[in-house]
Every structure is written in structure tokens, then in C-alpha cells.
Amino acid sequence: MERRDKINYYLDIAEVVAERGTCLRRNFGAIIVQNDEIISTGYTGAPRGRENCCDLNYCKREQLNIPRGTRYELCRSVHAEANCIISASRKTMIGATLYLVCKDAKTGKLVENTNSCAMCKRLIINAGIEKVIIRDTVDDYRIVSVSEWIENDDSLNDDMGY
């Protein structure tokens, strides 16, 4: 039996976390790992006490035909990265790695070339997380150095999709 590599092991866990997601479009799962220990998990879902889109049976962004990657202020969910970050202490996140997986809610398939939204990138930067590893396929992933998000400040772009 061949042993799963460590990065895909953590991505597999993030993928299971995504299964708790309540979004009708995309479900993300995130875990933060520091010193080879999982310190936090998060998935996409409405704030505590509010009804989830899967319970309401509709998605406002979907009703309005809003394209992927835009108008997140209309989404009722807290993103997986944000949920993961608010469940951990900052001192444990400094220098940590966030593992991120996204699945299409309708097909259950992995969403390739996914990325954190602009707001989640800001949260990740301020949390002190060092890198983000994003799953593209069952075995393939991208490693993003958070310092790249700092150097390539997307908030200075004219077209941020809003």
C-alpha cells in the first residue's frame, strides 16, 4: 500500500470539511495547519443562528445570475477561510498553512483553478498565514505564498468584479 503524501492528506481532510458546507453553488473546506497539527477547520455556511441557503432552497446570487467570483456582499454565507480563521488564535496562525478545497454543490466535482476571494485574502494576510495550498484535482494542487498576495495587491485593480 502506498502512503498518501502529507499535502494531499491535509487536502483530503479539507475536502471532507467542505461536505458540511451549506451553499447551493460552491462549497469550500479549509483547514489551518501549524507544526503538523490541525488548529482549525472551516466550511461555507450562513452565520450561526441564521438559516442556510440549503434550508431556504435558494441562493440570492444564483437568482440574480451573478457570475462566479463577483458580488460576494450578496452571499449569505461566511466563507470557509473566514470561518477557519475566526476559530483559531492569531498566535497559532502565524507562519501556518491554510489548505483549501472547493466543490461544485450541484455536481460534487472539484472546482479547478479556484482561489480565495479578495476579502478572504485580506483575512489570510492579517492572520499571519504563510501559505495557502489549493486543490485542483484529487492529486494536483497549487502552493501560493501569501507574500505574493501582498506584493500583487489585487485591491488596486480597476476591475475587481464588484
Q: Cα separations (Å) of 123 from 67, 96, 140?
A: 23, 13, 25
Q: Which residues, 6 or more positions from 53, have their beta carbon under 8 angstroms from its beta carbon?
A: 22, 23, 24, 46, 59, 76, 77
For the record, the C-alpha cell of 157 comes out as: 485593480
pLDDT band at 125 (very low <50, low <70, confident <90, very high): very high
For position 68, what pLDDT does the model report? Answer: 77
Backbone dihedral angles phi then psi of residue 80, each to the nearest 5 degrees: -55, -45
pLDDT per residue as tens digits for the range 22-40 = 998 899 999 999 999 999 9
pLDDT tens, 80-100?
999 999 999 999 999 999 999
Q: What does the mean pLDDT of the chain come to?
A: 91
Cell reading at 8: 494531499
Predicted local confidence at residue 17, as pLDDT: 98
Task: For residue 58, name the pLDDT band (cuts at 50, 70, 90).
Answer: confident
How is residue 68 written as a grid cell?
Answer: 462566479
